Structure 1
Amino acid sequence: MNLFADIRALVLDALADLTREGVLPDGLDTANVAVEPPRDAAHGDMATNAAMVLAKPAGMKPRDIAEALAPKLTADARVAEATVAGPGFLNLRLAPAAWQGLVGTILEAGEAFGRSTMGSGKRVNVEYVSANPTGPLHVGHTRGAVFGDALASLLEFAGHDVTREYYINDGGGQVDTLARSVYLRYLEAHGQSVEFADGTYPGDYLKPVGEALKAKVGDAFLDKGEQYWLTEIRDFATEAMMDLIREDLAALGVEMDVFYSEKSLYGTGRIEAAIQALDDKGLIYTGTLEPPKGKTPEDWEPREQTLFRSTAHGDDVDRPIKKSDGSWTYFAPDVAYHYDKIERGFDALIDVFGADHGGYVKRMKAAVSALSDGRVPVDIKLTQLVKLLRDGEELKMSKRAGTFVTLRDVIDMVGPDVTRFVMLTRKNDAPLDFDVDAVLEQSKDNPVWYVQYASARVHSVRRKAEEAGIDASDAALRGADLTVLDHEAELALIAKLSEWPRLVEIAARTNEPHRIAFYLYDLASVFHALWNRGNDEPSLRFVQEGNSATSQAKIGLAAAVSVVLSAGLRILGVVPATELR
């Protein structure tokens, strides 16, 4: 049940009545008519912009439409008051029965409350993490992993058919560097002294890989040139790193549906097929690009290349697809990979990348637009940098990784649930300060603890009811007389609960899972406010000793809060707390 959608339907029905009565002209487009929370809660429970958006096409003053609409709305038992404000906004106050009935709806629906069908089963591919398989995941990858995983869960909650996908970048020079690094650890395992140079990876995480290689091949690669071992060690090391990455993701609660290898695109004709598909549309040509911005003529050597006419699909410049020596650019396999996604029948694509991929957005959108003839949208989300702080100092290094703080380091410090929630306390494109000390504090300023404290409090209410001999079972709460929930603080909490279905659809439509975290904090705040008022006003306490009927209604309200908190936390990948220690 989406109460905002229900009231919007009421507004549309009233507008149709006004049209039949000749007050409004025929043919008005009501698509932009909205019902939403007012900017100032003191103005009412809901507000509609109907008069404002219809005034110009109707050739009428907004206030005249609003004044005609108001009595139509108050004729419905759910609407207690409709007030015209300003030039023509219409503020609505709902009758207590409308709010009280919502609690029963939530208890009946359970965590299905707020689920949406807006996705209509459309197939969405969400690609995230996709870190180079050269080492453990670092704190930046962690943010992308959490964001992508929460977004996938949100889209599923909103009715989409979601595939979680990891693109393994195992086709470039970085995996050769990995192989050389593992070879050094292999030599080290044989007792030789080694030096890491030329960009090789010095992290301790490669020591067990070197030992494992020794156990597999013995001394077969000792004193041999890399032409004898590079290919075999590259495959061995890549698989070892992907095992490590899978373990890291599992520790964070992330499970992928598909791991897609870039290497599988080479030598299989897939890159050629994708480029041919663009060529068939007249989008591949041989040409010379202008010098990049900031380059002087002395720096620039013009040369003919095979180019993709990406400007025909919104890019700023055309993009090289094949080098002058005939080899593919790094962009070519990415085009082929996205072509494969389109060929697999996805209705929409979402890519989650790090902040360093800002220049990648327009070219990839152009490629997908061209390959799908504009049928398949792609949304590229960039996650900004994370600064990890402890004792007021920034953490930058990890012995395990050698040069960066790993995902495992973060989990070891605060746990997976705290890690996930904190990563969603800022919008993805905003930098994030992750203060390890602050996120472990028990205070309102710590959103993780504050939301989990609300969840734990609800469970404590039910335990207290049982101790008082009050039946607080689900069946008893569903059968409670909810009309006793008539205090303004209780109605305010129900009003906040009513926003959940609407919030889910907005967050899913914009691909912004951080909205879920923000909402949960706000819901927890309203719940805690009611709880604290109960300390001074006994009639507001959830357990009314000696009065089972009233207690069951009030506990039912608390249980409805738990339903929404649990659903929201599970979208974020966080286990709801039943008690806090």
Structure 2
Amino acid sequence: MNLFADFGTRIENALETLDLIREKRAEVDFSRITAEPPRDPSHGDVATNAAMVLAKPLGTNPRALAELIVARLKEEPDVVDVSVAGPGFINLRLGKEYWQRLLAAIIEAGEDFGRSTVGTGRKTNVEYVSANPTGPMHVGHCRGAVVGDALANLLAFAGYEVTKEYYINDAGSQIDVLARSVFLRYREALGENVGEIPSGLYPGDYLVPVGKALANEFGPRLHNMPEEEWMPLVKDRAIIAMMAMIREDLEALNVHHDVFFSERKLHADGAQRIRTAINDLTFKGHVYRGTLPPPKGQLPEDWEDREQTLFRSTDVGDDIDRPLIKSDGSYTYFAADVAYMKDKFDRGYDELIYVLGADHGGYVKRLEALARAISGGNVKLTVLLCQLVKLYRNGEPVKMSKRSGDFVTLRDVVEEVGRDSVRFMMLYRKSSEPLDFDFAKVTEQSKDNPVFYVQYAHARCMSVFRQAKEAFPDLDIESLDLATTVKGITDDHEMQLIAKLAEYPRVIEAAAQSQEPHRIAFYLYDLASFFHAHWNKGKDQPELRFVNDKNRELSIARLGLVRAVASVLKSGLAITGTAAPDEMR
């Protein structure tokens, strides 16, 4: 049951009864009408802008139109008061019976409350992490991993058909560097003193076991081969080892993908997939032979004004046309992007979402242009850029550098503070804004630590059921149909808690449509605040306590309210990929 969708429909039905609307029905658009919580809860339970958006096309005054609408809405049996505020906003206050029915619906729906069909089954691909397989994941990958995973969970809950995908960048120069770095560790495993790791290679100790494995498998044979022979052997084993490490890192963070797509597949069989994709763009008129303008600023010494094969991306929204084939006849990195996106298009996706680091801002327009060219504008593409995470320990910055080997890995962070703290805090700020992550603060047991505050609310809900069992030993709570007991809920503070629960479906749909999973984390914190506040009122006012051993029926009714809170908390935490504990010590 979606409160705001319900009253959105009721408001439209009321409008349809007005003579003014009937006379000009073809000229008015209801799509801009909203039904939402008022900014100030004291104004009511539902607010609508109907009079504000319809007054102009109807040629009337917003407040005068609002008065006509109010007269119709007063006839609604669940509405106890309707008023006009300001220039024409309409506020509605609902009766307790409506809130009781809504609470019953939440209890019956359980963790499915808020599940939506707004996605209409649209086939959506969410690609995230896609870290180069050159080492363990560091904290720089962490935010995109969590945002992408939570967004995919959110979209699935909102009715999209979602595939979680990881693109393995296992082709290109960085893999050559990886292989040479591993080969050095292989020589080391054979007993050779390799000295200081040369500049340009990966120095991390995580490659030592890979070198030892090569020594165990091949003995000294690789050492006697020329590079062109040992390189492919070492590459294969290095990539397998790095991806196994990355998968373990992702598992530690509770991040899971449905598809791991290898870039090397695009280069297989003489790069047939890349050739096919470029041919497809050529057939559609998006490829030509030409020259590019020189880079802005000082010209590089090796700049050549040469003709090359280009993607006419400026025709589809990009800033500059993009090279597809290098002067030596090899394909550019962007050519692989073309083939990869065509592969996604051929798999039938309606929407493509890329979750990338902030340093990939230059990719946005070219990917959007490519999607328009490949799909003819039929596929929606969105690039979400995650800003940097700055690590602190007790307020002091923690430095990291992946290439030096002196960096903070994702696993380091998870093992120190726990994956729930990492996941929730990575979502507790909009991904387009920088995030400060302090190891000390995210382990505090206080209201200032959002993940603790939300999880503690769920644990408190579970403790209420244990208290009820102690107060009423003969009560079989599991067999109770709590949805039928809600008429005992009448206190105004309890109604406010139900109203906060009622916002959840709207939050789900808004977060999914805006592709902003942080909204779920914010909502959960607000709901936890409402619940803790009501709990604390019970300390001073025993009559408000959830379990009252002197009033069995009221206690059972309130168990229904607690069950509803617990279900929504658990549902939202599942979307964020965070556990909902029954106890916290």
TM-score normalised by the shorter chain: which range applies? over 0.9
Cα deviation for residue 25 of structure 1 reads 4.8
Spell out the pairing of 1:375-390 with structure 2 (5 A cutoff): 375-390=378-393
> Which residues in structure 2 correspond to 1:433-452 (within 5 Å)?
433-452=436-455
List gaps (5 residues or longer) in structure 1: none
Q: How many angstroms apart in 1 are the aligned matches of 2:261 and 2:19?
A: 56
- TM-superposed deviation, 1:255: 1.8
Name the CA distance, whole Å, in 2 between partners of 1:121 and 1:295: 50
Aligned-residue offset at 1:299: 7.7
Alpha-carbon distance in 2 for matches of 1:351, 1:494? 36
Give the C-alpha shift of residue 323 in structure 1.
Answer: 1.7
Q: What is the distance in 2 between the residues matched to 1:38 and 1:127? A: 36
Q: Could you tell me how far 1:388 is from its partner in structure 2?
A: 1.4
Counterpart residue identity of residue 225, structure 1: P
SS in 2 for 1:365: helix
In the alignment, what sits opposite 1:199?
Answer: 200
Q: 1:479 to 1:2 in 2, by over 3 A?
A: closer
Residue 281 to residue 438, structure 1, CA distance change in 2 (3 Å): same
Q: What's the CA shift string for 1:192-249, capped at 9, x where partnerless?
A: 1113224111111111101111111011022543223111101110111111111111
Q: What is the identity, as a one-letter code, of the residue corresponding to 2:382? A: D
Q: Tell me whether 1:528 sits opposite 2:532 in the alignment.
A: yes
Q: Which moved more, 1:11-20 or 1:85-94?
A: 11-20
Partner of 1:486: 490
Matches within 5 A, 1:113-152: 113-152=113-152
* 1:142 partner amino acid: C
- CA distance in 2 between counterparts of 1:103 and 1:365 reads 44
| Counterparts of 1:204 and 1:395, CA distance in 2 | 20
2:53 is aligned to 53
Q: Deviations over 1:159-208 (max 9, x none)?
A: 11111111000111111110000011101111111132241111111111
2:500 is equivalent to residue 499 of structure 1: no
1:103 aligned partner:
103
Question: Does 1:458 find its partner at 2:461?
Answer: yes
Question: Match of 1:322, SS?
Answer: coil
Aligned residues: 581
Letter in 2 for 1:197: P
Return the letter of the residue paired with 1:222. Answer: H
Asked if 1:79 is matched to 2:79, the reply is: yes
Verify the 8 A CA contact 2:289 2:309 in the aligned structure 1.
Answer: yes
Q: What are the superposed Cα offsets for residues 472-493 of structure 1, whole Å, 9 maximum, x if unpaired? A: 6254252543233222211111
What's the counterpart of residue 285 of structure 2?
282
Of residues 560, 563, 574, the one that matches 1:559 is 563
Cα offset for 1:122?
1.4
SS of 1:166's equivalent in the other structure is strand
In 1, Cα distance between the equivalents of 2:61 and 2:466?
57
Give 1:264's aligned residue: 265
Question: Offset at 1:279?
Answer: 1.0
Listed as ranges, the matches of 1:289-438 within 5 Å are: 289-296=292-299, 300-397=303-400, 402-438=405-441
Matches within 5 A, 1:161-200: 161-194=161-194, 195-200=196-201
CA distance in 1, matches of 2:392, 2:530: 30
Deviation at 1:24, TM superposition (A): 5.9
CA distance, structure 2, for counterparts of residue 297 and residue 168 of structure 1: 32
Contact 2:181 2:203 in 1 (8 A): yes
Distance change (3 Å), C-alpha of 1:224 and 1:26? closer
Q: Deviations over 1:386-428 (max 9, x none)?
A: 1111132222248998132111101110111111111101111
For residues 131-183 of structure 1, what are the alpha-carbon distances to aligned partners after superposition, in whole Å with 9 as ceiling and x for unaligned? 00100111011111111111111011011111111100011111111000001
Aligned-residue sequence identity (percent) comes to 57
Please give the per-residue CA displacement for 1:251-308, whole angstroms capped at 9, x wherever unaligned: 1112211111101001241111111111112111122222223335878542222111
| CA displacement 1:67-101 (0-9 Å, x = unmatched) | 01112112112111110111111011111111121
Residue 157 of structure 2 aligns with which residue? 157
8 Å contact kept, 1:2–1:501:
yes
* CA apart distance, 1:324: 2.2
SS at match of 1:54: helix
Q: Residue 251 of structure 1 corresponds to which residue in structure 2?
A: 252
In structure 1, the residue corresponding to 2:222 is in which secondary structure? coil
Matched letter for residue 413 of structure 1: E
Is 2:482–2:559's contact at 8 Å kept on the other side of the alignment?
Answer: no
Maintained 8 Å contact 1:278/1:284:
yes
CA distance in structure 1 between the aligned counterparts of 2:10 and 2:420, rounded to whole angstroms? 41
Cα distance in 2 for residues equivalent to 1:502 and 1:293: 47
SS of 2:30's equivalent in the other structure is coil
Uncovered stretches (5+) of structure 2, i.e. residues with no partner: none
Structure 2 partner of 1:14? 14
One-letter amino acid of the counterpart of residue 91, structure 1: N
Q: Secondary structure of 2:501's match?
A: helix
**Which of 402-411 and 14-23 deviates more?**
14-23
Does the CA contact (< 8 Å) of 2:103 and 2:483 recur in 1?
no
Provide the rounded CA distance (Å) in 1 between the counterparts of 2:199 and 2:407.
18
What's 1:208 paired with? 209
Query: Is the deviation greater in 532-541 or in 567-576?
Result: 532-541
CA distance 1:141–1:297, shift in 2 (3 Å): closer
C-alpha distance in 2 between matches for 1:250 and 1:565:
23
- 8 Å contact from structure 2 (residues 169, 263) kept in 1: yes
Q: Distance in 1 between matches of 2:561 and 2:215?
A: 62
- Looking at structure 2, the residues matched to 19 and 308 of structure 1 have their Cα atoms a distance apart, in angstroms, of 56
Q: Secondary structure of the residue that 1:371 maps to in structure 2? A: helix
Aligned residue for 1:429, secondary structure, equals: coil
Distance 1:575 1:533, change over 3 A: same
CA contact (8 A) 1:185 1:209 kept: yes
Alignment-mate amino acid for residue 52 of structure 1: M
Q: Which moved more, 1:439-448 or 1:70-79?
A: 70-79
Q: Distance in 2 between matches of 1:56 and 1:125?
A: 41
Once residues 186 and 300 of structure 2 are traced to their aligned partners in structure 1, the CA distance between those partners, rounded to angstroms, is 47
Q: Give 1:469's aligned residue.
A: 472
The one-letter code of the counterpart of 1:486 is T
Q: Distance between the aligned counterparts of 1:487 and 1:144, measured in 2?
A: 43
What amino acid maps onto 1:200 in structure 2?
L
Q: Deviations over 1:473-514 (max 9, x none)?
A: 254252543233222211111111000001000011011111
SS in 1 for 2:223: coil
SS of residue paired to 2:250: helix
CA RMSD of aligned residues (A): 1.8
Tell me which amino acid in the other structure corresponds to 1:321: L
- Partner of 1:466, secondary structure, is helix
My pick for the range that moved more, 371-380 or 530-539, is: 530-539
State the secondary structure of the residue aligned to 1:80. strand
